[in-house]
Each structure stands twice: as structure tokens, then as C-alpha cells.
């Protein structure tokens, strides 16, 4: 069995007990990774990370930028191997896995660029700019200490790198806990970081059972910033039990696509199908409900169904759109949502087709969904798409905003006059006009409201969230 050691304080270590990583495409055990299952050991990891930070923070900016670039280059030169690990570990299509690795390398390089801009342009207050008399106040950006990063399975490299890169370039040390389905790539990244030359303790891959130790991790005294991507239940608990740390939480969504009466329906259908079904809907920004008026309903549904019926379904190595779901529980959960909807009068537009041995759920559009159905509100993280018919725009907006989530939204229309007015009525972080929702390009701020999150990501905002300021005021 492939038993992989993880990097803690500059050493590759093993543990008595292991966590099991399965291949979702065949349910076979892929690897065993360390299960760090000891409170004192966990506390010590943070203490060592803090000690490492005390030295690393004084390294030169140029050295940190060069280290991050070296780390990025190593990821780039190992991209096929990394993509293969992603494909096996989380059943993402090989080509999409490769794109994810490349996007991560770009993210690192862009982080270097934006960090240098921030550092070279400290905020200055003086007479000429703000009328501040007899003082020149300069505010510098500094690291905060130990950053704790907790990442999900669905972007196992990209959502780790988007936390590690800003933390490292700014002079923080990092303890990160990858999702167990994602731990192989997490450890591989640690190996490459070690090879790049990060000093012991600056980067630590803490593989552990988060259900048991989650509270201990996030409340550790040395943790000064926490960046978490995962579910709202866990994220909301983190917000409750932490204090005086920088908190960035990305917690999922139920992104609506609102199709207005004057929309280009072909464009809307293309974007909706792409947004709802890529990576089998296992994206927090996937379109997870469609609102269409009775005027356009039949035509839009026909277009969506035509496209959904053509989606390719299969194993990740063949690069289909619909790939295996992350595990059998997710398959069951999606089927429960489908059955609940059908029992309350919804119409399944495709037959229910499941291949349990590969965790493959075939895509399904569910028509005539109403607010009594769980699928109208819950996040499936699977390839199922509810269609909700509205009579008046106000009714659609009310249902959209009644969701506990507010990550992103899409509005389809051919009339851009006053579109901002409508967009601003939608309670979500970002509203995409005539496009499906998505986090990228990564330079854009990315955030959710309500149960979708707290704090802001995106290249610049992530750096801001992992740094603090120090002012030097020269009195004249
Ligand atoms: O799953 C959550 C991700 O942040 C979504 O990223 O919009 O690039 O797919 P994406």
C-alpha cells in the first residue's frame, strides 16, 4: 500500500494510525496518509510554526518572492504528475486537473506581482494628500504570524495555493490541513515546497481528523489568520469560536441563474449547462437553481435538455463533463433530493441513472420545482439542476434572496440598461450578467454573503487578509 509521509517542521513523518484516501472512480484504496492524532503533537506543530515565522518574517522581500517563484516553477515542471494525482484522488477529468495546476502556477506568479505592488506603495498620509499637518504617516504591510489553511476536495491544489501563496510571500508560516480526499496532493505540494527551500516549520501539512481536532486547530494561540473553504456548518462554528484573528470563510452556495424575458435563450442555456454541470456540479459557484418565467420556460427547458442529453459521462481519464462524485454518500444525497422533489410534484427530465461502483450519477434537470422541495434550497454538489418558474420578477427575487446562501448569481438579459439596479437587489457577493457564475479571473475579489462566507479572497484581498499594517509617523 502506498503509505505517504507528511511534512512537519522540515521532517517527513509517519504516524501509527493512518487516514485512508480512496479513488472515487472505483472506490479502491489509493493511499494511506498520516493521521496526526495527538493533541500535544498538534499544539507543538503550531509552536514550531510560530518559531519558524519569527525567523522567516525577517527574510528579505526579494528572497520570499524568489522562493515562491521557485515553488511555482517546481509545480509547473511537475504538472502532469500533479494532475494525475488530482485525477485519481478526486476524480476530476485529467484535462481539468491540468488546467487547475496551471491556474495555480499563474496564481502564485500573480501573487508575487501584486505583493510587490502593495509593498512598494505603502499608504502615506501627509499634508499634500490628506491635509495631515506636520506629520508624515507611513503604514507598512507586515505578516501576521501562523496562517491556518483548511482546504476542500474539489480544487485540491488551487484552493490550497490560493491560501498558501499570499501567506508565504508576505512572510507568514503556514499550517495547512487538506481535505482527506486531497491529502495526497497536499503532501506532494509540501514536498515541492521543501525542495524549493522553505526553512523547517515555515510550511507544514497537517493531515488529521478535522472532526476530532477542528476546534483545537482553529483556536490555537499561534494562529493569527484562518482561511477555510468548506461547508457553512463548520465555517459558522469557526466564526463563533475564534476571536481576534483574520478570518476568511468560503462556505458554498446555491447560485441562481435568473433568466429575464428578453434573454438570449441559446446563450443562457449554454451558460447554465456549463455552470451547472462542469465537474458534475461539485463547485461552490455552480449554478444550482434556474428561475425562468412561464413565457420562456418551454423554450429554455428544451434547449437545456438538448444540451444536457449530450453531456459526456464517464471516467476522469476520458475527460467527460460528468465524472464520478466524490463518494457514495454524495450520490445518495443527490438521489434523496431528486426523490423528495419527485414525490412533491417535480418532473424529472431524464431517467435516473446511477452507476454505484463508479459513484457516477448521470445528469438530471428537474422541472416544476417549488419552494416545498428540498432541492430548491439545499446544495447538492452533484449534477442535478432545478428549474423554478416565476410569474413576476419580484417573486423570483424574493425566492432568490430567501436562500441562506449568497455566493454568486447570474442574470441573463439582452438589455443592459439599468441592469446594475436589478443586480444590486440580489443578495450575493457577485452578480454575473450573461455568464455563469465563477470565482475567476483570480484577480477579482471573491466573497459570499450570508451563509456563503465571510472575508474576501482573490489575489489582492487574500494578501490583505494575511497581513496587518504598522504605522511609522514622523512628526515635523
Ligand atoms: O468550489 C469553489 C471554488 O472556489 C469555485 O471556483 O468558480 O473557479 O469553479 P470556480
What's the pLDDT tens digit per position in 156-168? 999 999 999 999 9
Is any ligand 1 atom within 6 A of the Cβ of residue 285? yes
- Ligand 1: which of 102, 155, 158, 227 to mutate, judged by most atoms within 8 Å of the beta carbon? 155
In this prediction, residues 186-196 reach a mean pLDDT of 98
Q: What's CA 298's distance to the chain center, in Å?
A: 34
Determine contact, residues 158/63, Cβ cutoff 8 Å.
no
- For the chain, which residues make up each domain, given as ranges? 6-251+452-475, 256-433
pLDDT tens sequence across 395-415: 999 999 999 999 999 999 999
Q: Is the pLDDT of residue 51 over 80?
A: yes
CA distances (Å), origin 419, targets 74, 234, 292, 408: 44, 35, 17, 16
In this prediction, residues 209-221 reach a mean pLDDT of 97
Q: Is the pLDDT of residue 292 over 90?
A: yes
Q: Which helix (H) or strand (E) holds 273?
A: helix 265-277
β-strands 408-412, 203-205: how paired? unpaired
Has 81 been annotated as catalytic? no
β-strands 6-8, 11-13: how paired? antiparallel
Q: In this predicted structure, what is the pLDDT of residue 68?
A: 98
> From the CA of 96, how far away is ligand 1's center (Å)?
13
pLDDT band at 323 (very low <50, low <70, confident <90, very high): very high
Is any ligand 1 atom within 6 A of the Cβ of residue 439? yes
On the question of a cis peptide bond just before residue 421, with omega within 30 degrees of 0, the verdict is no
Helix (H, G, I), strand (E, B) or coil at 160: helix
Q: Say what the pTM is.
A: 0.97
* Other C-beta atoms lying within 10 Å of the C-beta of residue 294: 10
Determine contact, residues 369/197, Cβ cutoff 8 Å.
no
Atom 6 of ligand 1, nearest CA residue: 439
Q: Pick the closest to residue 376 from 276, 301, 291, 442 (CA basis).
A: 291
> From the CA of 283, how far away is ligand 1's center (Å)?
5
> From the CA of 128, how far away is ligand 1's center (Å)?
43
Task: Tell me the β-bridge partners of 343.
Answer: none
CA distances (Å), origin 408, targets 122, 191, 216, 463: 32, 35, 32, 22
pLDDT tens sequence across 220-267: 999 999 999 999 999 999 999 999 999 999 999 999 999 999 999 999
Is any ligand 1 atom within 6 A of the Cβ of residue 151? no
Is any ligand 1 atom within 6 A of the Cβ of residue 284? yes
> From the CA of 285, how far away is ligand 1's center (Å)?
5
468 phi, psi to nearest 5 deg: -130, 180
> From the CA of 363, how far away is ligand 1's center (Å)?
19
Mean pLDDT of the chain: 97
- Round to whole Å and give the CA distance between 319 and 41: 41
For domain 256-433, the CATH architecture is: 3-Layer(aba) Sandwich (3.40)
238 phi, psi to nearest 5 deg: -60, -45
* Other C-beta atoms lying within 10 Å of the C-beta of residue 132: 14
Q: In this predicted structure, what is the pLDDT of residue 388?
A: 98
> From the CA of 274, how far away is ligand 1's center (Å)?
13
In this prediction, residues 269-273 reach a mean pLDDT of 98
> From the CA of 404, how far away is ligand 1's center (Å)?
19
Residues contacting residue 396 through CB under 8 Å, at least 6 positions apart: 258, 291, 293, 388, 390
Determine contact, residues 407/452, Cβ cutoff 8 Å.
yes
Is any ligand 1 atom within 6 A of the Cβ of residue 155? yes
Q: Pick the closest to residue 104 from 51, 68, 63, 130 (CA basis).
A: 68
Determine contact, residues 320/310, Cβ cutoff 8 Å.
no
Q: In this predicted structure, what is the pLDDT of residue 205?
A: 98
- Round to whole Å and give the CA distance between 436 and 31: 36
Is any ligand 1 atom within 6 A of the Cβ of residue 154? yes
> From the CA of 476, how far away is ligand 1's center (Å)?
50
- Ligand 1: which of 153, 381, 439 to mutate, judged by most atoms within 8 Å of the beta carbon? 439
Q: Which helix (H) or strand (E) holds 246?
A: strand 246-250
Q: ipTM > 0.90? A: yes
* CATH class name, domain 6-251+452-475: alpha beta
- Round to whole Å and give the CA distance between 294 and 129: 56
* Other C-beta atoms lying within 10 Å of the C-beta of residue 295: 12
- Ligand 1: which of 151, 159, 453 to mutate, judged by most atoms within 8 Å of the beta carbon? 159
In this prediction, residues 159-185 reach a mean pLDDT of 98
Task: Tell me the β-bridge partners of 250.
Answer: 229, 453
Ligand 1 atom closest to Cα of residue 440: 8
Q: In this predicted structure, what is the pLDDT of residue 129?
A: 83
- Round to whole Å and give the CA distance between 168 and 170: 5
In this prediction, residues 424-435 reach a mean pLDDT of 98
Ligand 1 atom closest to Cα of residue 279: 9
Q: How many CA atoms lie within 13 A of 397 on its CB side?
A: 12
pLDDT tens sequence across 432-459: 999 999 999 999 999 999 999 999 999 9
pLDDT tens sequence across 90-120: 999 999 999 999 999 999 999 999 999 999 9
| Catalytic choice (250, 271, 379, 427) | 250
- DSSP-derived letter for residue 402 is H
- Ligand 1: which of 438, 441, 442 to mutate, judged by most atoms within 8 Å of the beta carbon? 438
Q: In this predicted structure, what is the pLDDT of residue 189?
A: 98
* Other C-beta atoms lying within 10 Å of the C-beta of residue 22: 20
pLDDT band at 1 (very low <50, low <70, confident <90, very high): confident
Q: In this predicted structure, what is the pLDDT of residue 245?
A: 98
Is any ligand 1 atom within 6 A of the Cβ of residue 179? no
Q: Is the pLDDT of residue 60 over 90?
A: yes
Is any ligand 1 atom within 6 A of the Cβ of residue 438? yes
- Round to whole Å and give the CA distance between 282 and 363: 12
Cell numbers standing for residue 197: 527551500
Atom 2 of ligand 1, nearest CA residue: 284
* Other C-beta atoms lying within 10 Å of the C-beta of residue 333: 17
Amino acid at each position: 500500500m502506498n503509505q505517504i509521509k507528511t511534512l512537519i517542521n522540515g521532517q517527513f513523518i509517519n504516524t501509527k494510525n493512518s487516514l485512508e484516501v480512496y479513488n472515487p472512480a472505483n472506490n479502491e484504496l489509493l493511499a494511506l496518509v498520516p493521521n496526526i492524532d495527538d493533541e500535544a503533537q498538534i499544539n507543538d506543530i503550531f509552536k514550531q510554526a510560530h518559531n519558524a515565522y519569527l525567523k522567516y518574517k525577517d527574510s528579505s522581500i526579494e528572497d520570499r518572492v524568489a522562493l515562491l517563484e521557485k515553488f511555482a516553477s517546481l509545480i509547473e515542471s511537475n504538472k502532469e504528475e500533479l494532475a494525475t494525482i488530482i485525477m485519481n484522488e478526486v476524480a476530476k477529468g485529467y484535462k481539468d486537473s491540468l488546467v487547475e495546476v496551471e491556474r495555480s502556477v499563474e496564481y502564485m506568479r500573480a501573487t508575487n506581482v501584486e505583493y510587490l505592488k502593495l509593498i512598494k506603495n505603502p499608504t502615506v498620509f501627509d499634508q499634500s494628500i490628506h491635509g495631515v499637518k506636520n506629520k508624515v504617516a507611513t503604514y507598512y504591510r507586515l505578516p501576521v504570524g501562523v496562517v491556518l489553511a483548511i482546504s476542500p476536495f474539489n480544487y485540491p491544489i488551487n484552493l490550497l495555493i490560493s491560501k498558501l501563496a499570499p501567506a508565504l510571500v508576505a512572510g507568514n508560516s503556514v499550517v495547512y490541513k487538506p481535505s482527506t480526499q486531497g491529502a495526497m496532493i497536499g503532501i506532494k505540494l509540501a514536498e515541492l515546497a521543501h525542495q524549493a527551500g522553505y526553512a523547517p516549520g515555515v510550511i507544514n501539512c497537517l493531515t488529521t481528523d478535522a472532526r476530532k481536532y477542528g476546534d483545537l486547530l482553529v483556536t490555537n494561540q499561534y494562529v493569527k489568520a484562518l482561511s477555510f473553504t468548506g461547508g457553512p456548518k463548520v465555517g459558522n462554528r469557526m466564526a463563533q469560536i475564534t476571536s481576534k484573528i483574520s478570518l476568511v470563510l468560503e462556505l458554498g452556495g446555491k447560485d441562481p441563474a435568473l433568466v429575464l424575458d428578453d434573454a438570449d435563450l441559446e446563450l443562457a442555456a449554454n451558460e447554465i449547462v456549463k455552470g451547472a454541470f462542469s465537474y458534475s456540479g461539485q463547485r461552490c459557484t455552480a449554478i444550482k437553481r434556474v428561475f425562468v418565467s412561464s413565457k420562456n420556460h418551454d423554450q429554455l427547458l428544451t434547449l437545456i435538455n438538448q444540451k444536457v442529453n449530450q453531456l459526456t459521462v464517464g471516467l476522469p481519464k476520458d475527460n467527460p463533463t460528468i465524472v464520478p462524485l466524490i463518494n457514495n454518500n454524495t450520490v445518495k444525497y443527490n438521489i434523496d433530493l431528486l426523490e423528495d422533489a419527485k414525490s412533491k410534484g417535480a418532473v424529472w427530465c431524464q431517467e435516473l441513472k446511477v452507476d454505484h461502483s463508479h459513484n457516477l450519477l448521470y445528469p438530471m434537470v428537474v422541472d416544476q420545482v417549488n419552494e416545498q422541495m428540498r432541492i430548491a434550497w439545499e446544495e447538492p454538489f452533484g449534477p442535478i439542476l432545478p428549474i423554478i418558474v416565476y410569474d413576476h420578477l419580484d417573486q423570483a427575487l424574493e425566492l432568490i434572496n430567501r436562500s441562506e446562501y449568497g455566493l454568486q448569481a447570474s442574470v441573463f438579459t439582452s438589455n443592459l440598461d439599468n441592469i446594475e439596479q436589478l443586480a444590486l437587489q440580489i443578495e450575493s457577493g457577485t452578480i454575473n450578467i450573461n455568464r455563469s457564475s465563477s470565482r475567476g479571473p483570480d484577480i477579482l475579489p471573491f466573497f459570499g454573503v450570508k451563509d456563503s462566507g465571510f472575508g474576501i479572497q482573490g489575489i489582492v484581498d487574500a494578501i490583505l487578509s494575511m497581513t496587518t499594517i504598522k504605522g511609522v509617523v514622523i512628526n515635523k
